[in-house]
Amino acid sequence: MGALLKNEWIKLWNKKQTWFFLGAIVIIMIGLTFIYQSFIADSTNQGEGEWTIELETEISEQEEILESGTDEEWMEAQAEQTIQENEELLEAGINPNEMNNMIFMNETVLSVASFITLFTVIVASSIVSSEIDNGTMKHLLIRPYERWQVLLSKFITVVAFSIVMMVTLILTNILMGTIFFGTGSYSSQVMEMSFHGGPLYTTVANIFPAKIGLYFLNMLMFVIISFSLSILFKSQTLAVGISIFILFSTSVLQGFSLLLADTAWYKFIFLPHLDLPAYAVVDEIMPGVGIGFSLTILAIYAIAFIGASGIYFQKKDLM
Amino acid sequence: MSDTVMEVKGLTKQVSGKKRIVHDASFVMNKGEILGLLGPNGAGKTTTIRMIVGLINKTEGKVFINGADLDKEGLACKSDIGAIVENPSFYDYMSGYKNLQLYARMSKNPITKERMDEVVELVKLSHAIQDKVKKYSLGMKQRLGVAQAILHKPALLILDEPTNGLDPKGIRELRDYLRQLANQGISTLVSSHLLSEMQLMCDRVVIMEKGKIIDVSNISSLSENGNSDKLIVSIEVKKEHLQQTEQVIKMVDGVSIVKQENDHMFILEMNQNLVPTLNRKLVEAEVDVYGIESKKTSLEDKFLALTSEDNVQMKEGQ
């Protein structure tokens, strides 16, 4: 089994594509840093205490709007929200404009990580199908190993690949963050916005590991889906195409979650649960649906996918 | 231990519906033997081979490799086999050497660097082994295929259509090489639809047709006529003398006409010692003879005879 793993790892890194993916992650991260820096450059490097004055000024501005009265209801609502947020920030002692490498990491890692998901899905869906496609699978299966061992070694290789990509991303991120925004404390305070609830005031140390961990589990699920589906296809192109389609359609379909959340069956399909990083901020993504429920549903689907494709592969005739 | 390397018993593959691609195939392979699996395309050769190496699940039947049951001791059986199935495919983004290293690592017995070099030398790829496989010609890939199959010194080598894409020189080298391995006690199962190649390469052939084994023959008994008294002779005479010839032939006992070919030729079946007699009688009858030729009963004739018999039966059955 060790030999199979080593072989898969060697094959993976002998492909140009793998190095291209790794390089792309580094370059995208560097590019994002520059974009990020140019947008927030003017609001950083304020003097100590200036940010409190700024927040207070904003509060009094909004209060004036409320006092003078306005016809637009949404303006009132927005003013009230801004006041509330600013007061909470003041109370928690969080400078919304403060920037250092840790805050930068917390804010940007996941946006680049979606490229890792894309690349990993491509690798996952081609690692089996490409070998069936070009005939090398036959030479693997006539060796003294069980078929499931061949599959498992490939699966582990894909997961290891995604970890290498993640580590590379985080290291690049920290390097760029340190160069551009200086070092900061791992327990810097941050505010997290979320689609599912109000802002959450916390520290990088509290939220970042949860975000990364949940993101990784989410990605693992995509890997399992694309890896399993690709086994059913002979053609590498078809396998990769379908996996990417599923990856993108998932986020589109999640847009319908609000409409479908009330139906009894919706929470039992895997789609809405493929948004695990949301749990870093909120407790429930739908009424009554918490992280435990989501993980259970995903685990059941994962086992079903792996089981079905594994049994299929074990019995498959390689004509 | 007996000298049997492989025993195939009642091997059957039935695909969806009732169609049987391979039906009740049984044969044995001896140590150091080169056994040919011969048949036209679609006869079930590849399916048979893939069932033996475990790429295709068999519907019925048993395969024993060195006495071990493939169903019960699959991994042990696979360790004893080296194979090329169909066109040899490799990771073409890696060098030939790296490809071989991958296969070496998958062997249950450790393979030394010396063994690697030895095999590379043997298949004459030393000059190109560090090049990427995508630069290889088909012949070179075929040779790399042989290298990966023999790397772990298997007792049984299985080659499916190994001569596909090889030039005559390459085929000859492969033939010599297989003979060399056979002398070391390694048995080889080779499939092909090319009769002449099988005749040169193998000790015995298993002839397959429509999923069934229709004959198992010794090459030596096929290619030499020594075993049978009867000989196929073609006799070519002047057109005008055709009738006279026929009369003369009928006068000689023990000569029978198989058929008349064109308008100046007879195909005869006769004893070898009757050839001079017939010749003399023809001269006496003043028949102009242009040629008398003894035709060998080649594997091809046997093969065609066997398969045409089958065709006749098919027609009768309809």
Report the percentage of chain B scoring pLDDT > 70. Answer: 88
Q: How confident is the model at residue A157 (pLDDT cuts 50, 70, 90)?
A: very high
Helix A101-126 crosses helix A147-181 at what angle (to 10 degrees)? 150
**Option in B53, B89, B106 nearest A3 (CB):** B106
Most confident residue range from A275-284, B96-105, B273-282:
B96-105
Question: How far is C-alpha B88 from the geometric centre of its chain's CA atoms?
Answer: 19
DSSP H helices, A255-290, are 257-260
CA distance B15 to chain A (A): 10
Lookup result for tokens 């791992």: A186
Same domain assignment for residues A103 and A180: yes
CA distance A144 to chain B (A): 5
Number of residues in chain A: 319
- Contact A318/B50, CB-based, under 8 Å? yes
What single letter denotes the amino acid at residue A126? S
Residue B127 has what DSSP assignment? T
Looking at the 3D structure of chain B, how many domains does it have? 2
Q: What is the pLDDT of residue B301?
A: 65
Task: Between B301 and B143, name the one with better pLDDT.
Answer: B143
Same domain assignment for residues A123 and A252: yes
Range of weakest confidence among A34-43, A117-126, A170-179, A202-211: A34-43
Q: Is residue A187 a contact partner of residue A43, using CB atoms and an 8 Å limit? A: no
Same domain assignment for residues A91 and A25: no
Same domain assignment for residues A61 and A160: no
Instruction: State the number of CA atoms in the 13 A half-sphere of B19 facing the CB.
Output: 8
Looking at the 3D structure of chain A, how many domains does it have? 2
Mean pLDDT of A166-177: 93
- Read off φ and ψ for residue B301, nearest 5 degrees: -60, -45
What single letter denotes the amino acid at residue A219? M
Same domain assignment for residues B184 and B37: yes
> Which residues numbered 130-169 in A keep a CB inside 8 Å of some CB on B?
134-136, 138-146
Q: How confident is the model at residue B318 (pLDDT cuts 50, 70, 90)?
A: very low
The residues with which B22 forms a beta bridge, in sequence order, are B13
Distances (CA, A) of B257 to A27, B12, B197, B298: 86, 42, 31, 20
Question: How far is C-alpha B307 from the geometric centre of its chain's CA atoms?
Answer: 15
- Contact B78/A142, CB-based, under 8 Å? yes
Question: How far is C-alpha A140 from the geometric centre of its chain's CA atoms?
Answer: 34
Q: What is the pLDDT of residue B200?
A: 83
Average pLDDT in chain B: 82
- CATH code (residue B183): 3.40.50.300
Best to test chain A binding among B22, B47, B55, B87 (most A CBs inside 10 Å): B55
How many contacts does A have with B, using Cβ atoms within 8 A?
A: 68
3-class SS of residue B36: strand
Label residue A165 exposed, middle or buried (CB < 10 Å: 0-12, 13-18, 19+): buried
CA distance B164 to chain A (A): 16
Q: What is the pLDDT of residue B312?
A: 44
Same domain assignment for residues A173 and A213: yes
Lookup result for tokens 């006529």: B225
Taking 3-state DSSP, the helix, strand and coil percentages for chain B, each rounded to the nearest 5, stand at 40, 30, 30
Mean pLDDT of B24-52: 88
Same domain assignment for residues A137 and A51: no
Residues 6+ apart with CB under 8 A from A199: A85, A88, A191, A192, A193
Question: How far is C-alpha A276 from the geometric centre of its chain's CA atoms?
Answer: 8
Task: Between A247 and A94, name the one with better pLDDT.
Answer: A247
Q: What is the pLDDT of residue B316?
A: 39
**Per-residue pLDDT tens over the stretch B106-119:** 988 888 999 999 88
**Option in B83, B102, B108 nearest A142 (CB):** B83
Chain B hits for A135, Cβ within 8 Å: 86-87, 89
Q: How confident is the model at residue B297 (pLDDT cuts 50, 70, 90)?
A: low
- Contact B93/A14, CB-based, under 8 Å? yes
Final residue of a structural domain among B169, B190, B223: B223
Same domain assignment for residues A53 and A35: no
Residues 6+ apart with CB under 8 A from A111: A32
**Option in B56, B86, B91 nearest A11 (CB):** B91
Q: How confident is the model at residue A201 (pLDDT cuts 50, 70, 90)?
A: confident
Residues 6+ apart with CB under 8 A from B152: B79, B82, B104, B107, B108, B109, B111
Angle, CA of A232, A237 and A241, to the nearest 5°: 85
Q: What ipTM was assigned to the predicted interfaces of this complex? A: 0.78
- CATH code (residue B287): 3.30.70.120
Chain B hits for A140, Cβ within 8 Å: 106
Same domain assignment for residues B203 and B275: no
Chain B hits for A7, Cβ within 8 Å: 102, 105-106
CA distance B224 to chain A (A): 38
- pLDDT(A267) > 50: yes
Residue-range definition of the domain harbouring residue B215: 4-223
Give the integer Cα–Cα distance in Å for A220 and B290. Answer: 83
Report the percentage of chain A scoring pLDDT > 70. Answer: 92
Give the integer Cα–Cα distance in Å for A109 and A117. Answer: 12
In a domain, B309, yes or no: no
Same domain assignment for residues B102 and B199: yes
Residue A316 has what DSSP assignment? -
Residue-range definition of the domain harbouring residue A194: 2-43+98-315
Same domain assignment for residues B23 and B83: yes
